[in-house]
Amino acid sequence: MGRWEPGARERLVVAAVDLFIEQGYDATTVAQIAERAGVTKSTFFRHFPDKRELLVAGQETLSRLLAEGIAEAPANASPLEAVAAGLGRASTAMGPLNRELAPRLTAAVAASAELQERDALKSVSLAAAMTAALVERGVPESTAAIAGELGVLAFKRGYAEWSGSNGDDKAELARYTLAALDELRAASASLG
């Protein structure tokens, strides 16, 4: 495969996930990932600073889309309605490759303490992006923080259900994340 062939970033992510599952995160080298993806090590480093970052590829885009969706929600939207708008917007960035990779990615993360730590940091970053977007809308800090955390939980739950659903199900991720947010909204109302 030529080094300038399109899709190098995606191939690197797929190769890394597969290698992490086959031989473990610690035993996998950047050179092996690049070789499996059909690119050079320098191409790897043009896309990612290190192998750990492969598993959070797209995090900045996801954070931006969540914040943009929240910012674009109607002015009279409640904090959770704005979060729903953010979830809907961010869900558009997830396609068939994300759905296909999710179970393998989950397995790779579960097998590595370092990747679990990185995944936790990703959640914190996504919550911070949503909280900041809500505060920008005039939502009080504590309310914004709770809504942001619920948004992350809804995204993670919806993503897990979407990626684990029947491959024939053509439903978009937004359906799952918004359903998860509705469930969390109902659950939080029952807290009293």
Pick from 110, 92, 48, 84: nearest CA to 180: 84
Ranges in the chain annotated CATH 1.10.357.10: 58-189
**C-alpha–C-alpha distance, residues 161 and 135, integer Å:** 29
With a threshold of 0.85, does the pTM exceed it?
A: no
Q: What is the DSSP letter of 25?
A: T
Fold of 58-189: Tetracycline Repressor; domain 2 (1.10.357)
Place of tokens 């303490």: 113
Ranges in the chain annotated CATH 1.10.10.60: 8-53
pLDDT single digits (tens) 75-110? 999 999 999 999 999 988 888 888 888 888 888 888
Q: Under a CB-based contact definition with an 8 Å cutoff, are residues 188 and 83 in contact?
A: no
pLDDT band at 185 (very low <50, low <70, confident <90, very high): very high
47: left (phi over 0), alpha (psi -120 to 50) or beta: alpha
Task: Assign domain 8-53 to its CATH architecture.
Answer: Orthogonal Bundle (1.10)
pLDDT band at 1 (very low <50, low <70, confident <90, very high): very low
Residues of the chain with pLDDT > 90, as a percent, come to 56
Q: CA of 108: how far to CAs of 80, 102, 157, in Å?
A: 32, 10, 18
